[in-house]
């Protein structure tokens, strides 16, 4: 009896974090907030990775990248980064699993754009021009573009009190609001 309980406790202790991590993957955290651009390369000197990162650092592309509400994920030899900051191994592996990549080509980098809705919009092997990425985003339906953009709310105006009576400077009672015109029961 004790052996079964111990075995179950060990299995839960090992499997618990793995199951929790699947629901809290990097792409799930980005869904509805931003558009992940993921570059997967076999080495840090991969021409696609170097060229794309350099072109994204240009002022015009950097501005367009921010305007399109994007984040950059890079995975180089199973080491992941999000916007230049290292990710832990568990998050990197969860990202790779969520992308369902299959067999990777070690000779060519892969560039993936994921929309705010969580769907792959671009899955490209080799070099790609940032303008092509931005034009793909611009062609997306408005519903996807505004997936998480809440409508701005105008602040409510406070009712103003009007002075009544003969004493200046003192506020009296406010008049009841008249019902809006054209609304009949």
Tokens, residue 148? 């998480």
Domain count, the chain: 1
- With respect to residue 54, please indicate whether it lies within any of the assigned structural domains: yes
Return the pLDDT at 77: 85
Return the pLDDT at 68: 92
- With respect to residue 61, please indicate whether it lies within any of the assigned structural domains: yes
Which residues, at least 6 apart from 56, have a Cβ–Cβ distance to it below 8 Å? 62, 65, 72, 130
Q: What is the CATH number of the domain that holds 43?
A: 3.40.30.10
- With respect to residue 28, please indicate whether it lies within any of the assigned structural domains: yes
- With respect to residue 117, please indicate whether it lies within any of the assigned structural domains: yes
pTM summary value: 0.64
- With respect to residue 97, please indicate whether it lies within any of the assigned structural domains: yes
- What is the CA angle 76-78-82, rounded to 5? 65
- With respect to residue 14, please indicate whether it lies within any of the assigned structural domains: no
Radius of gyration for the alpha carbons in the chain, expressed in angstroms and rounded:
27
**pLDDT, one tens digit for every residue, the chain (185 residues):** 555 555 655 555 555 555 544 458 888 998 989 999 999 998 989 999 999 999 999 999 999 999 999 999 999 988 999 998 999 999 999 998 898 876 666 778 999 999 998 889 999 998 899 999 999 999 887 545 554 455 455 555 555 555 555 555 555 556 566 655 554 44
- With respect to residue 69, please indicate whether it lies within any of the assigned structural domains: yes
Q: Domain limits at 137?
A: 19-145
Give dist(CA 52, CA 39) in Å, integer. 9
Return the pLDDT at 141: 77
- With respect to residue 39, please indicate whether it lies within any of the assigned structural domains: yes
């Amino acid at each position: 009896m004790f052996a079964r309980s111990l075995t179950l406790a060990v299995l839960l202790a090992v499997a618990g974090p793995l199951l929790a991590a699947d629901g809290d993957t990097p792409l799930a955290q980005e869904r509805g907030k931003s558009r992940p651009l993921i570059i997967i390369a076999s080495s840090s000197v991969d021409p696609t990775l170097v060229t794309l990162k350099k072109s994204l650092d240009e002022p015009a592309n950097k501005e367009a990248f921010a305007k399109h509400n994007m984040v950059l994920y890079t995975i180089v030899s199973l080491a992941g980064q999000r916007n230049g900051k290292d990710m832990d191994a568990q998050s990197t592996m969860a990202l790779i699993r969520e992308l369902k990549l299959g067999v990777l080509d070690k000779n060519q980098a892969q560039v993936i754009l994921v929309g705010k809705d969580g769907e792959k919009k671009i899955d490209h092997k080799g070099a790609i021009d940032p303008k092509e990425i931005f034009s793909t985003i611009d062609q997306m339906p408005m519903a996807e573009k505004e997936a998480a953009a809440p409508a701005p709310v105008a602040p409510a105006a406070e009712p103003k009190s009007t002075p009544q009576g003969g004493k200046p400077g003192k506020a009296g009672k406010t008049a009841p609001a008249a019902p809006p015109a054209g609304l009949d029961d």
